[in-house]
Every structure is written in structure tokens, then in C-alpha cells.
Amino acid sequence: MSEAAGADSGEDRAASNLPTARSPRIVLFDLDDTLCDYAGARHRRLTIAFRDALAAIPLEQRPDIDALIARSIALAPHGEAHFPDLLRAHGVEDERAIARAQSWFRANRLHGLDLFADAADVLRTVRAQRPDRRLGIITNGPADVQREKIERLALAPLLDVVLISGEVGIEKPDPRIFALALDKVGGLPSEAVYVGDAPGFDIAGAVAAGVRAVWLNRVGTPFPPDHPPPDAELRELAELVELLSERI
């Protein structure tokens, strides 16, 4: 997919090889950065933790905090065990400040986490399109963390099935976790569509499971050529409503 294709209108992006037959009975979603803004919340948490740790360093000697955050995410996207080595390498010598940054980050692991503005309305509208429709989430991650997110975001009442890799011992892109979700709602791959933001986990996994894949590409990046392509591409989650009613 070219950069020009990524900049097309919603109608053009939805013009895919999806069949125009009856809309799918089962709609499954990724959680992080599809329904909720995990990346944004993580950036805010790292900003708070690192600003405190860097406070004792003269302003002119402090590293650029955005660069520091990018380095932290590259080293470990989800944890804080790397903080001591990272912060020492950037001039933080106060062990108490390092420990404080780690402690705050652990204690506030869901600080600032919210659904994207359109997510709840999309879930309700997508369900209302068909009286027999079933909705669900398939997400990778530790069971306790992902369950806490779902509770915090009040998603459970909107869903029929939630599969977390840390609970079932299978993670995307393994097609078995998609098959398990379909089994729980009593459906076939041909009846389902999966919506996610990660080509290597969401799209590749859905394609391997025989489920139609919708790529949520909010930033308009080209799709990686080394992954199986999605059946459709969206720039906003709200575009899914029209896609399901007219294109799938």
C-alpha cells in the first residue's frame, strides 16, 4: 500500500475486496490502540516518571524527554525494569529518584488510559446494526492488567466475549486464539471480522484464522509489505459503521 493510498478518503479506503453479502454476525476487536489509547497514556506516564527523575539535573544538561521516552519504549514497551540503566546512562545518579520513577510507574499503570472518543458509540452502533450480532475483544497481555483495563473502561457490558492471551495461553497472531473466540460465540470464520491496529499481530492473525481483517490505521502509514494485507483499511474507528453496513 502506497503513502498516497493511505491518504485516500474513507470511501476509497473501504473499497476493498470485501464481499458485499450480508454484514458479518461477529465483530471482534483488538483492545490497546484500537479501542483505547494505550500509546497516549503510556507517553503521559513516562513523561511524569522521567520528569521527576530528571528534576535534579540542571536544565541545560537534561536529555530531551521525548527522545528519552522513545528510547524507553524501544527497550521495553510495557515495563519499567530498564529504568535504572536508562536513567543512569542519561545522567541520573540519585538512586532514590530512579526508584521513585519506577515505583510511580508501577503504581499508576493505567494512569490516563481512556477509550478513544468514538469507541463506545461505535460498539453500540455496530451491535445495533444486527439483532443477532456478537461483539468481542481478543487482546495480548497479562491477565490482570488487561482485565483491569476492561473494568476501568467499562467495556464488559458492551461485549459478548473477551479473550486475553495471558488467560488462555495463546497470543496473537496465533490463529487458535481467534478460533477460540469464534467457538465461544458459536460462529465460523466466514461470519466474522476482526479490527485491529497492529499488522503483525492483528491483521496477520486474523488472516491466518480465515477471518476478514480490518486495519485501523489512524496515522496513515503504509502497510508493511511483508505481512498479509487487510481486507479493508480505516483511518477512524467510526468508519467501521458504514463499512459493516455497506461493504462487508
Q: What domain count does the chain have?
A: 2
Nearest C-alpha neighbor of 203 from the set 9, 10, 16, 48: 16
Going residue by residue through the chain, which has 248 residues, state the pLDDT in tens, using 9 for 90 and above. Answer: 333 333 344 444 443 444 444 589 999 999 999 999 999 999 999 999 999 999 989 988 899 999 999 999 999 988 999 999 999 999 999 999 999 999 999 999 999 999 999 999 999 999 999 999 999 999 999 999 999 999 999 999 999 999 999 999 999 999 999 999 999 999 999 999 999 999 999 999 999 999 999 999 999 999 999 999 999 999 999 999 999 986 55
Say yes or no: 133 and 220 in one domain: yes
What confidence score (pLDDT) does residue 13 get?
42
- Domain finish residue from 88, 107, 126: 107
Say yes or no: 15 and 132 in one domain: yes
What confidence score (pLDDT) does residue 22 get?
59
Query: Which residues partner with 139 through β-bridges?
Result: 164
What confidence score (pLDDT) does residue 4 get?
36
Say yes or no: 143 and 80 in one domain: no
- Domain finish residue from 107, 137, 154: 107
Say yes or no: 184 and 153 in one domain: yes
**pTM given for the model:** 0.86
Say yes or no: 69 and 150 in one domain: no
What confidence score (pLDDT) does residue 56 get?
86
- Domain finish residue from 107, 131, 148: 107
Q: What is the amino acid identity at position 158?
A: L
Say yes or no: 158 and 57 in one domain: no
Say yes or no: 165 and 148 in one domain: yes
Distance in angstroms (rounded) separating the CA atoms of residues 44 and 57? 20
Lookup: cell for 116: 478513544
Say yes or no: 80 and 141 in one domain: no
Say yes or no: 81 and 161 in one domain: no
Distance in angstroms (rounded) separating the CA atoms of residues 135 and 87? 43
Say yes or no: 61 and 184 in one domain: no
Domain with 68 in it:
39-107
Say yes or no: 24 and 123 in one domain: yes
Judge contact between 156 and 150, C-beta under 8 A.
yes
CATH of the domain at 205: 3.40.50.1000
What confidence score (pLDDT) does residue 245 get?
83
Say yes or no: 95 and 181 in one domain: no
Contacts of 164 (CB under 8 A, 6+ apart): 139, 140, 141, 143, 146, 147
